Amino acid sequence: MSSIPPNAAAHDPNLSPRALGVIAVCLVLAALGLWIAMTPSRTGTALIGGPFALQTGDGKTITDADLKGKPFLVYFGYTHCPDVCPTTLAQISDVLKRLPEKPIRVLFVTVDPERDTSALMADYVGSFDPRIIGLSGSPQDVAAMEKAYRVYARKAPTKDGDYSMDHSSIVYLMDAKGGFVEAFNLDRPPEESAKELSSYL
């Protein structure tokens, strides 16, 4: 699946003011999330990551302990996301295509557990690289993981009585011990991202 340049929409002259506003909000949230993620603790290191237990589409529980021994990526989003989430997952898939033999795992964790069941998450990630695992769980379990990864997420009511989710958009690169390495940069050619990711594997 080819990636969609993250700034392509900004150059579309046919976008409405509302669409441009949504894009601006997403950019601000991404910057806010990155600032939160990279803010060091009093010990001088970013406190990101920790224990979690969430479910896959087949009912299996995945915990942080299951991922120890290999670096992994984590991204938070939701299946009703109109643009940022599918674009990011497509970019990740493009990077993974450059690493066909690497057993790296990518977690796509919902920020909308009320609508995103484990089965729905599994169906959604089926459109992307098979190494991307969709995870959901109880609102309490999801909130605990969001807190551990310092994720910003909140409901944004819509005029039709439904809601969308405002959330930070960061791809976390975690090391083999589950420690935070960096906010993984996808705003470059996928070959470059793949080369950096391969250096940790």
The answer to whether residue 162 is domain-embedded is yes
Dihedrals phi, psi of 19, to nearest 5 degrees: -65, -40
E strand segments, 89-186 = 105-110, 132-135, 153-157, 163-167, 171-174, 180-183
Say if CB 26 and CB 84 are below 8 A apart.
yes
Averaged pLDDT, 183-196:
97
The answer to whether residue 89 is domain-embedded is yes
pLDDT exceeds cutoff 60 at 23:
no
- Per-chain mean pLDDT for the chain: 85
pLDDT at site 102: 87
pLDDT band at 63 (very low <50, low <70, confident <90, very high): very high
The answer to whether residue 40 is domain-embedded is yes
pLDDT at site 21: 56
35: containing domain = 9-198
Q: How many residues belong to the chain? A: 201
Say if CB 166 and CB 154 are below 8 A apart.
yes
Domains in the chain, number:
1
pLDDT exceeds cutoff 50 at 173:
yes
85-142 pLDDT tens trace: 999 999 999 999 999 988 899 999 999 999 999 999 999 999 999 999 999 999 999 9
The answer to whether residue 2 is domain-embedded is no
The answer to whether residue 1 is domain-embedded is no
The answer to whether residue 91 is domain-embedded is yes
* pTM given for the model: 0.78
pLDDT band at 44 (very low <50, low <70, confident <90, very high): very low
The answer to whether residue 4 is domain-embedded is no
User: In this structure, what CATH number is given to the domain that contains residue 160?
Assistant: 3.40.30.10
When mean pLDDT is compared over 13-17, 43-47, 157-161, the highest value belongs to 157-161
Dihedrals phi, psi of 156, to nearest 5 degrees: -130, 100
Sort residue 48 into left (φ over 0), alpha (ψ -120 to 50) or beta: beta
pLDDT exceeds cutoff 70 at 43:
no
